[in-house]
Amino acid sequence: MGSSVYIAGAGVISGIGNNVAEHLRAFEQEEAGMDAITMLNTIHKGELPVAEVKLSNEELAVMTGLSPNTSRTALLSLVAAREALDDAAVPNFKTLRTGFVSANTVGGMDKSEDFFVDFLEDNNKGKLRNVFDHECGSKTEIVADKLGISDYMTTISTACSSSANAIFYGARLIKNDLLDVVIAGGTDALTKFTLNGFNTLMILDKQLCKPFDEHREGLNLGEGAGYLVLVSEKVAQTLTKPVYCILSGYNNSNDAYHQTASSPDGTGSYLAMKGALEKSGLKPSDIDYINLHGTGTPNNDSAEGTAVKRLFDPHYPPMSSTKSYTGHTLGASGGIEAVFSVLAIKHGIIYPNLRFETQMSELPFQPETRFLKGQQIDHVMSNSFGFGGNCTSLIFSRA
């Protein structure tokens, strides 16, 4: 295995902002992105809060140069991936071996839903262009073309750990000297498909979510995209500005317990966190901040909290769920929260866990509720746990 993997750029779009600067402002001002549904055409309007990106498809099309008929999944992806690439400003980018590893779970479902409205009425109707790009990989290709990346591209879809796994995989491509630069992360747009699915599972909170609170009632869905630019040591030396940090540890483990729920003792999450620590050569006490998966469902927070307790007790680092701002952006969440993690190291900040009131009875710790600046943060753990028990932890460390 080769050298370290350096983080050279970051880009993000979510319900709290359309770029990194807007996110930092929203965090400091403690402005959550959840609100009544305005964009998504659903019977749940006014009933379930979601964190929508505050731009229409037409506005996103103007920003990106893509057609307004493009799936919102790809539109969001291009905004964040391009911000990350511009931020990294890798010299001689065109001459390097470059890759785009992008995760998503809904693909072009938003457009397919439009198609079926007409098609179900009359199966001679419905615009076929709306289903042409249904497949998840299609989103990656649309965005890679726009970014000018043709050496390597692939799509990862492992539920809510998708884009953490994309970063993990991108890092391995660099470590094994297959690529020099990888833009890795993920994207997901809100769709009826996901909103109805999570509603069926009865894990949506009708109020704003309260991760890691004793009285949490479920998650709020969000949408967005987040990407990091990963570069090899050789490329890092050519950069004209400092890197954010390195990706020092990563691990994926599986609960093998239930289709959607985590095992009560958080076996998968424990193994993922422990494995990532081992990979990085760090001790639990070295971690300065944990960006929790923290969906706000009774099951996740209890399982994740139990796993954190097992690994970190009795010395708990500050931790919080930024889903209290962005909602749960599903396949994008690992990428978005990886961006928050590298920003925490760069700016010395810890994000508050909004709306936390009551400590969970089974846990001896509580999340950080204040926005903290001027912190010395050298190592950040970011958790992303998905349906099917697919659990991933990433660790970012000061370079």
Partner 1 sequence: MLAENHIISSCIIERGTVFKDGSMLFENKEVDLAEFLLSVYQHFQLNYPKFYKMDNLSKLGWLASEVLLKDSFQKDQYQPEVVGLVLANRNSSLDNDFKYFESAKEIASPSLFVYTLPNIVIGEICIRNNFKGEHGFYIQDQFDASFIVGQANYLLDNNILKACICGWVDVLVQDYKATLYLVEKKSTDSSKPFSIKNINSIFETI
Q: Which residues are catalytic?
A: 160, 293, 328
Nearest to 292 by CA among 15, 133, 312: 312
Binding mask 235-254 for partner 1 (x = CB under 8 A): -------------------x
Q: By CB under 8 A, what part of segment 160-199 binds partner 1?
A: 196-197, 199
Distance of alpha carbon 340 from alpha carbon 96, whole angstroms: 27
DSSP alpha helix (H) spans, the chain: 20-28, 57-64, 72-88, 109-121, 129-132, 136-147, 162-175, 192-200, 233-236, 267-280, 298-312, 323-326, 333-347
Contact between 217 and partner 1 by CB under 8 A: the answer reads no
Pairing of strands 390-397, 379-386: antiparallel
Q: How many residues belong to the site for partner 1 (CB under 8 A)?
A: 13
Q: By CB under 8 A, what part of segment 349-388 binds partner 1?
A: 388
Distance of alpha carbon 237 from alpha carbon 222, whole angstroms: 37
Contact between 116 and partner 1 by CB under 8 A: the answer reads no
Contact between 134 and partner 1 by CB under 8 A: the answer reads no
- Nearest approach, Cβ of residue 203 and partner 1 (Å): 9
**Got the DSSP string for 151-182?**
SEEEEE-BTBTHHHHHHHHHHHHHHTTS-SEE
- Nearest approach, Cβ of residue 204 and partner 1 (Å): 12
Contact between 257 and partner 1 by CB under 8 A: the answer reads yes
Contact between 318 and partner 1 by CB under 8 A: the answer reads no
Q: Whose Cβ is closer to partner 1: residue 296's or residue 388's?
A: 388
Distance of alpha carbon 6 from alpha carbon 265, whole angstroms: 34
Contact range with partner 1 by CB under 8 A, out of 147-155, 200-208, 277-285, 291-299: 200-208
Q: What are phi and psi of 382, to 5 degrees?
A: -120, 125
Contact between 200 and partner 1 by CB under 8 A: the answer reads yes
Among 69, 154, 260, 375, binds partner 1 (CB under 8 A): 260
Cis check for the bond before 314: say yes or no (omega within 30 of 0).
Answer: yes
- Nearest approach, Cβ of residue 178 and partner 1 (Å): 21
Residues that bind partner 1 (CB under 8 A): 196-197, 199-202, 254, 256-260, 388
